[in-house]
Amino acid sequence: MKRSVLLPPALLCAFLPLLGGQAPWETPARSIAAERILAHTRVLASDEFEGRAPGSPGEEKSVAYLAEQFRSMGLQPGGSGGSWTQDVPIVGVTSDVALSLADSPGGGFRPLAFPADFVAWSPRLEPSVAAADSELVFVGHGVTAPEFQWDDFKGTDVRGKTLLILVNDPQVPDPRDPGKLDPRVFKGNAMTYYGRWSYKFEEAARRGAAAAIIIHETKAAAYPWFVVVNSWSRERFGLQGSTEPTVPLAGWMHLDQARRVLAANGSTYEKAVAAASRRDFRPIPLKQRVAFSSRQTVRPVRSRNVFAALPGSDRRLRDDWLIYTAHWDHLGRNPKLDGDGIFNGAADNAIGAAGLLEIARAFATAPVRPKRSVLFLSVTAEEQGLLGARYYASRPVHPLARTVANINIDGLNPWGRTSDLRQIGQGSSTLDEVLLATAKARGRTVLPDAHPERGTFYRSDHFEFMKQGVPAIYINPGGHFLGKPAGYGESKLAEYIDRDYHKPSDEVKPDWDLSGAVEDLQVLMETGWRVADAHRMPAWKPGSEFHRERP
């Protein structure tokens, strides 16, 4: 235990519960096996599960499979009444949108082409929405951020107007080194929540806009146009009974189409971006007018989170909960596409749900249990905007004030062993040190997010827990692959995003090697166990954007 001498006192206790010289998590952690992860992944990602869309036959199969696995491990049902599921009431909306532009007031409207020029939908749970003649306004990044003294709107009334918005957050050069982005404004190169599409639609709704259209640009968005089309041109879901304001029409415009719009105004995309990178930017009225209509089918769905519980061993601490999460849902199928049109989502997130099952099994077979209780929660509708996690975090089965941490699994490394792993959102809580100590003890290193500009931090379920004040850990695959040339991981990741991410081709690949996934899961299991056994609950670090009291 020489190593622990260097650790802060809060961590020391996490090293103490040794059984005859061996930590209680060691035997179960060693039992985590690639074959079982692969077997679960193959089932969940099979064509029979139809891409696991909420409210589809694929949901029935996924929920039944997960619940049966949890039951067979000897875990307890996660729900109070002996239930393995938590109902998540959502609404599915399918929009059929026509969107037209006119070059001047009263001018002839010309329809834009779907999906070449745009993809759009209405977040409203209404049979139809329409606007006959709406002014088009370029609003830069569409951001009002008091903490960065930034306001793209400058008091402009945009009610009833159609907002054309840049993706990502303002990219402001550092006055001390103009080759870099100013770290004091929107965290420099890292994407803040202001860069996410969800924020932009929310802000447009708060301001009473008729429509909010984001210009797609592959690098700034961190994914190509077909991901936008695949993700949004299908049934989409929202939480039932949500009272958050929504914009009548939301959508994306292809960069080429946006260039044509700006050119007709004597501008260019580059000029528009440059103007929007300045604090003195003001909304720019464009000469085009917008007309749109959307006919919609609205369908209430009872979707489900699936969960299992492992009661803690300590009488005084067993009302505290550690929650592991992994979303089971994916994009379902799209009959409009060629081929089988099934979005198998093997890497996103059949493999993560499989990893959750394997961690749960390892905990369940341990000879001793952690002091605090552990909930294994597979959430629904992550791909629809983290809905299952948001629902749990708003109606937790155990109070969030007693929920010590969330450890989220969304994707696992299928490309072999790495010496490192990447922690997304590092620096927000004392969980950093537990993860670091655990990784170190297992001969691994922890590096920060390799691509903070991609906004990965805001794109999975842990974010909903953090928003409610629960510290969380979310890791991505490391980049230093053992026995592979430098850059191997980056090229595999780029290949995945380019070829398979949110496409029907995201299937189990013949060259998958889950030895690295096993080691990452071992780190996550041990980290969770240490947190569940620690004397003190993890705490936010000062300056974290989530640094506030738990509810």
Contact positions vs Zn ion (CB under 5 A): 348-349, 410
Q: Which long-range contacts (CB under 8 A, 24 or more apart) does 277-280 make?
A: 277/170, 277/171, 277/172, 277/173, 278/172, 279/149, 279/150, 279/172
Closest contact distance (angstroms) between CB of 339 and Zn ion is 22
CB of 269 to Zn ion, least distance (A): 30
DSSP at 113: P
User: Do 250 and 123 contact (CB within 8 A), yes or no?
Assistant: yes
Which one, of 258, 204, 247, lies nearest residue 95 by Cα?
A: 247
Q: 123: which DSSP letter?
A: -
Nearer to Zn ion among residue 349 and residue 403 (C-beta): 349
What token pair was written down for 233? 């041109």
- Cβ-based neighbour number of residue 111 at 10 Å: 11
Cβ nearer to Zn ion, comparing 213 with 359: 359
365 near 28, Cβ under 8 Å?
yes
**Beta carbon of residue 424, minimum distance to Zn ion (angstroms, whole number):** 12
Give least dist CB 460 to Zn ion, A.
Answer: 6
Which C-beta is closer to Zn ion: that of 410 or that of 533?
A: 410
Residue 446 tokens, joined: 């922890």
Residue 447's CB is within 10 A of a number of other CB atoms, namely 16
Helix (H, G, I), strand (E, B) or coil at 100: strand
- Give min distance, CB of 379 to Zn ion, in A: 10
Nearer to Zn ion, 152 or 383 (CB): 383
CA 484 to chain centre: 29
- Minimum distance from residue 94 beta carbon to Zn ion (Å): 22
Q: Is 498 helix (H, G, I), strand (E, B) or coil?
A: helix
Length of the chain: 551
- 523 by Cβ neighbours in 10 Å (0-12 / 13-18 / 19+) ranks as buried
Q: Which tokens sit at 91? A: 């609404």
Q: Rounded to whole angstroms, how far apart are CA atoms 305 and 335?
A: 26
Contact 98, 311 (CB under 8 A): no
Closest distance of CB 349 from Zn ion, Å: 4
Tokens linked to 472? 């969380």
Choose between 322 and 379: whose C-beta lies nearer to Zn ion: 379
- Least Å distance between CB 281 and Zn ion? 34
DSSP per-residue letters across 371-385: SSEEEEEEES-GGGT
Which C-beta is closer to Zn ion: that of 43 or that of 264?
43
Q: Are 517 and 354 in contact (CB under 8 A)?
A: no
In the complex, the smallest distance separating the C-beta of residue 41 from Zn ion, rounded to whole angstroms, is 13
Q: Which is nearer to Zn ion, 25 or 496 (by Cβ)? A: 496
How far apart are CB 330 and Zn ion at their closest, in Å?
8
In whole angstroms, the minimum distance from the beta carbon of 358 to Zn ion comes to: 17
Distance, CA of 273 to CA of 257 (rounded, Å) = 15
Q: Which is nearer to Zn ion, 461 or 519 (CB)?
A: 461
Q: Which is nearer to Zn ion, 50 or 410 (CB)?
A: 410
CB nearer Zn ion, residue 93 or residue 412: 412
Nearest-CA neighbor of 70 among 304, 387, 405? 304
Contacts of 541 (CB under 8 A, 6+ apart): 427, 428, 429, 430, 432, 547
Q: What distance in Å separates the CA atoms of residue 518 and residue 324, rounded to the nearest whole number?
A: 16
Q: Which is nearer to Zn ion, 166 or 191 (CB)?
A: 191
